[in-house]
A and B are shown apart, each in its own frame.
Chain A
């Protein structure tokens, strides 16, 4: 009996602790961002006193940007550099709560569709951010084939291209025919990642579809997959299956770059910002070179959004304005060599030349085609080994 009483007592205590532990923080001051002037927003932000921002890369840049922000506005930044998936899991898990814990975050290409479908972000914010028109205009409208309606502010632009080791590739291919010839002559030395695990592999499959099934123009503006337009995609799958034993498949964007560094491959499709970041930190040899071939390669960018249930929306808006300011975008460019989202910054010394970007960069076909492409690639190429 004594034991029983003890057990019950312990349980009650535990249950009591469970419910007593959750004390909610009081609500921060708010303001309607859509109608307020910028001065009022800054004032409210300062009254809110803090902002919580999530990213999964560039800890060095964001920490310095946060320090600048605190100096300039007196608003504290809670910066969390997490993992891409974990960041989105967190905001999705909190999406039904009236007030969440995250104010603003970086949004990568892979997650745009999910976040727009789940309606996670507050907006549109294009008319709130002061320098909005100086940021890549196309990225305000569409990110990796998904319409974003001005909800997501461009943070930086990135671009896929061919990364190669100049010691082993003397005459890198420009056209699709040249690439085919190169792969035939150098089996296994060209590779790309499984498109279900990273954007650079998706970009390569995208380019192959462009060349084997008659261009990308026919897909523009579609909101769902039109069966007649994808009827001849088996030509693309045939292309892959014909040279399957001459291609190397990798498991992620970074894995492709690592295998160039390791010497297993000599040429791959990669993201320029990824390559630059890994180069900065000694993860790939500095002699590596990158270009956008004439056959074309897709590009995109990462954006920032304010969460719908952000506790400090005004401070989040001011922080996004700070990150997209000319001064900060230049600082980011100088620190990391990553391509800025602002269009009023002179750019020199990046991996990819401006001519390449102008002439050879492709826009993704609409997102439904991309999903379809990945699923069909798995089914028709990977499954049939």
Chain B
């Protein structure tokens, strides 16, 4: 009885947060889902059909787009965390000049994604700074064509540039709660650097690592501006494909299908990341 009362109270306490979000998001998600089956269509027609799903699943463009966005999302989220984690460890202890450094590092946080994309594209363009410097140093004879590369390295680079401080902030917050006595105890037991890193820091910081990977994935997977400036000519990212589907081909319902796919895929990757985090933590 006591237990139940508590749970009820706990659910009520979720209302201002989760309830607030559901109040606004619920019907939007429902409408997207309904539209993907041809109901409440934006064009005014409304009849249940599976043809939109069939059309999207059969088109190689959509599959390519999904795989490409997935690749970019996973690479960006892992890449940013790999860069940010050592930095977060470095910032764990204070030291001369670190305050200044911490502030400079955070600057890209305040640069909108679209602007970040165009600034970096500026650097790697045909006669951009990178090519000019390499030419002058005689490292290359001909400027390299790096814009809109087929693999998507440009996108990954911009994502890391823009979001390094974002992930750093989360990781610093989660590392902050690791106490020195834990580490001292490990040291006294003869643990080396690597074993302290992998047996203490990584597992204890795992909630933070997980959240950064999840939030970074959402950002990179669903991103529109960076893909549209720096992404490859083909395939289009799934968000771009969704936009093209609706505005160019007027296939609003098929765009809704892509929207549902974006949401479901994101959930799936979050689940996979969470499982991975549980495994890592479970080892301890």
**Least distance between A3 CB and chain B CB atoms (Å):** 7
Residue in contact with A251 in the complex, picked from B60, B143, B148, B150, CB distance below 8 Å:
B148
The chain A residue with its CB closest to the CB of B20 is: A14
* Given A88-B247, A110-B247, residue A118 in contact with residue B127 (CB < 8 A): no
The contact string, 1 if C-beta is below 8 Å from chain B, for chain A 361-385, is 0000000000100110011001101
- For A11, A85, A196, A375, the residue with the greatest tally of chain B CB atoms inside 10 Å of its CB is A196
A62-116 interface (Cβ within 8 A of B)? 85, 88, 92, 110-111, 113-114
Minimum distance in angstroms from B215 CB to a CB of chain A: 25
B-side contacts of A85, CB under 8 Å: 243, 247
* Interface stretch (choices A131-139, A152-160, A259-267, A320-328): A259-267
Is the Cβ of A7 less than 8 Å from the Cβ of B127?
no
Nearest opposing residue in chain B for A379, CB measure: B61
A-contacting residues, B239-260, CB 8 Å: 243-244, 247-250
Residue A165 at the B interface, CB < 8 A? no
Tell me if B103 is interfacial: C-beta within 8 Å of chain A.
Answer: no
Whether a CB of chain B sits under 8 angstroms from the CB of A122 is no
Q: Given contacts A117-B250, A249-B233, A385-B150, are A263 and B127 in contact (CB under 8 A)?
A: yes
By a CB distance below 8 angstroms, the chain B residues around A8 are 12
Whether the Cβ atoms of B249 and A371 lie closer than 8 Å is yes
B228 interface hit (Cβ, 8 Å): yes
**For chain B, which range describes its interface: under 10, 10 to 19, 20 to 34, or 35 or more residues?**
20 to 34
Q: Say yes or no: A375 contacts B249, CB within 8 Å.
A: yes
Query: For residue A193, which residue of chain B has the nearest CB?
Result: B233
Task: Say whether, besides A111-B247, A385-B234, A3 and B9 are in contact (CB < 8 Å).
Answer: yes
Note all chain A residues with C-beta closer than 8 A to B128. 262
Q: For B61, list chain A residues within 8 Å (CB).
A: 378-379, 383
Q: What are the interface flags for A1-38 relative to B under an 8 Å C-beta threshold, 1 for contact and 0 otherwise? A: 00110011011001000000000000000000000000
Q: Check B84 for interface membership: any CB of A closer than 8 A.
A: no
Contact of A114 among B126, B145, B247 (CB under 8 A): B247
In the bound complex, CA of A10 to CA of B17 (Å): 12
Task: Check B42 against A118 for contact (C-beta < 8 Å).
Answer: yes
Return chain B residues, CB-CB under 8 Å to A7.
Answer: 12-13, 15-16
Q: Decide yes or no whether B102 CB sits under 8 A from chain A.
A: no
A194 within 8 A of B: yes
Q: Are B228 and A251 in contact (CB under 8 A)?
A: yes
CA distance A314 to B235 in the complex (A): 46
Binary contact readout B109-140 vs A (1 if CB under 8 angstroms, 0 otherwise):
00000000000000001111000000000000
User: Does any Cβ of A come within 8 Å of B27's Cβ?
Assistant: no
Distance in angstroms from A309 CB to nearest chain B CB is: 15
Provided the pairs A8-B12, A383-B60 are in contact, do residues A262 and B248 lie with their beta carbons within 8 angstroms?
A: no
In Å, the complex CA distance between A378 and B60 comes to 11
Shortest C-beta distance, A19 to chain B (Å), equals 12
Least distance between B35 CB and chain A CB atoms (Å): 13
Residue of A nearest to B228 (CB): A251
Chain B residues near A385 (CB, 8 Å)?
A: 150, 234
Q: Which residue of A lies closest to B15 (CB)?
A: A11
Distance in angstroms between the alpha carbons of A278 and B110 in the assembled complex: 27
Residue B229 is within 8 A (CB to CB) of chain A in the complex: yes
Question: How far apart are the CA atoms of A28 and B148 in the complex, in Å?
Answer: 50
Q: Does B19 contact A (CB under 8 A)?
A: yes
Name which residue of chain B comes closest to A258, CB basis: B125
Smallest distance from the beta carbon of B29 to chain A beta carbons, Å?
16
B75 an interface residue at 8 Å Cβ cutoff?
no
Q: Do B60 and A264 have beta carbons less than 8 Å apart?
A: no
Nearest chain B CB to A114 CB, angstrom units: 6
When C-beta atoms are compared, the residue in chain B nearest to A384 turns out to be B234
Contact with A along B18-47 (1 / 0, CB 8 A): 011000000000000000000000110000
Per the bound structure, the CA–CA distance linking A85 and B240 in Å amounts to 12
Per the bound structure, the CA–CA distance linking A363 and B270 in Å amounts to: 50
Is there a chain A Cβ closer than 8 Å to B236's Cβ?
Answer: yes
Residues of chain A lying within 8 A (CB to CB) of residue B43: 117-118
Given contacts A251-B148, A379-B61, A385-B150, contact A114 B13 (CB under 8 A): no
Distance to closest chain B CB from A282 (angstroms): 15
Inter-chain contacts of B15 with A (CB < 8 A): 7, 11
A110 and B127 form a contact (CB under 8 A): no
Name which residue of chain B comes closest to A117, CB basis.
Answer: B250
12 CB contacts below 8 A, A to B, read A4-B9, A11-B16, A88-B247, A110-B247, A259-B125, A262-B126, A263-B127, A264-B145, A378-B234, A382-B233, A383-B61, A383-B64
Taking A3-B9, A383-B60 as given, write out 11 further A-B residue pairs in contact, using a Cβ cutoff of 8 Å, ordered by the A residue number. Answer: A7-B12, A7-B16, A117-B43, A197-B228, A263-B127, A264-B127, A264-B145, A371-B250, A382-B233, A383-B61, A385-B150
